[in-house]
Amino acid sequence: MKKILYNINKRFPHGSFFRNVAILASGTAMAQALSLCISPILTRIYPVESFGRLQVYIAALTFTLNSISLRYEVAILLPEDELDGAGVLTLSLSVVVMMTAVWGVVFGFLWLIGRVPQQLSGIGFYLLCLPFAVLATGLNQSLCIWALRKNRYQDVGTAKITQIFGQVMTQLVMGVATSTRGGLIVGDLVGRFAANFSLVRRTYQEIIINFNSITISKLYNLANKYRRFPLIATPAALIETAGTTIPLLLIGDLYGARTLGWLALTNQVLSVPVTLLGQAISQAYMAEASSLAQSSPVKMRSLFLKTIQRLAIIGVVPALVLAVFGPLLFSFVFGTSWRPSGEFARLLAVMNLTSLVAWPLIPTLDLLERQSWHLFWVVSRMGFVITSLLFCSHFHWGAKATIFVYGSVLAICYMIHLGLSFLAIQMRVANLSRA
């Protein structure tokens, strides 16, 4: 890692956008490389149904996470004053702890009375892992944003490597040494906690320094100042996640656990470029655009368009490879029983390309305080996606046709979001010109 950082520092000027992206992407690349190397082993240790249960677990976790900090973690980047930034971090972490307790009571109560939703019943006892995973990931989200504010991009990359290492090693050991089929879920939980070790140590010292200046009244004032995040951005995030998770659960209900398991592996592989480049670019873009949105919207527009262009160029070749060789590649790497995952990947190639381009730029509307636009988009997306799946179910279409329709609708929705984001930037530029 140190050698990689040395080469990055030598090639890119300090503080440049692409230097920050390179640092974040290098850590994510190492983590994803480890995950991909272990995946062919895991697909031969665990049955397809285990991946289906993991997909259900991740869907429930993702939905819960969008309310865990009430989106205050996004606001960590916004204050110009450093003390206010530390105050928003403290606010975000406090909300994470409180909301974890709330969700812990909800999940525990549902488990005790035996009223677990049917879609979650397949993960059984491991439902109780969700509150702990929520806590670990909520803390990680806030701490990573704080590290970005402090320009500690290396810390974020290191945290990702630690997470994936803890995850895959636990999954591998449990798969080989025990007969339990919940090793994929337990490994995911271990990795999420492991990601916080270095981040907590660095951030704890910084919070302690400012602790006497961060009063209850200051936290209240900051919570009120950024109230649009819990009032608008949080519902938007919940609906956005519902628009992602409900279709997956519907596909599982319509076509069975094996189909959901195949789709889970497809999503895992397709998420590699989004995670490898998209997450790194998104984090660096947020850090850069948050200041440009206030000081120079014209430069923000240039950054937005250049980022779209570069992501599109990067994503075209992988999309073509999946479209042509998807089934063959999945059969060779993961085993012949996983060929349907490759067929799904072929059908979702265009959606994956648009996702790679659009997803890193999703924060644009929040940074421009156009949360209501984002809310409109996520509600519309959820409506279109669920309607398309119900349409396919009504006419008894097969799994492949349904997944193709699902991917096509998502691709169109991602392009619409890019258009809304560009329009919001244009309006900010026009407002600044009039001022």
Residue ranges covered by each domain of the chain? 1-226, 228-435
Contact 311, 20 (CB under 8 A): no
Scan for tokens 């209850």, then name that residue.
Answer: 216
CA–CA separation, 82 vs 150, rounded Å?
10
Chain-centroid distance of CA 138 in Å reads 12
Q: Quickly state the pLDDT bin for 315 (edges 50, 70, 90).
A: confident
Rounded mean pLDDT, 184-202:
88
Q: Quickly state the pLDDT bin for 4 (edges 50, 70, 90).
A: very low
CA–CA separation, 7 vs 11, rounded Å?
6
Rounded mean pLDDT, 33-60:
83
Average pLDDT of the chain, as a whole number = 83
For 207-240, letters b (16+ CB in 10 Å) and e give: eeeeeeebeeebbeebbeebebbbebbbbbbbbb
Amino acid 6: pLDDT:
43
Nearest to 184 by CA among 62, 64, 43: 43
Q: Quickly state the pLDDT bin for 5 (edges 50, 70, 90).
A: very low
Residue 123 DSSP code = G
* pTM for this predicted structure: 0.67
Q: What angle do CA 300, 152, 6 make, to 5 degrees?
A: 100
Q: At residue 133, does pLDDT exceed 80?
A: yes
Q: At residue 101, does pLDDT exceed 60?
A: yes
Q: With pLDDT > 90 as the criterion, what percentage of the chain qualifies?
A: 31
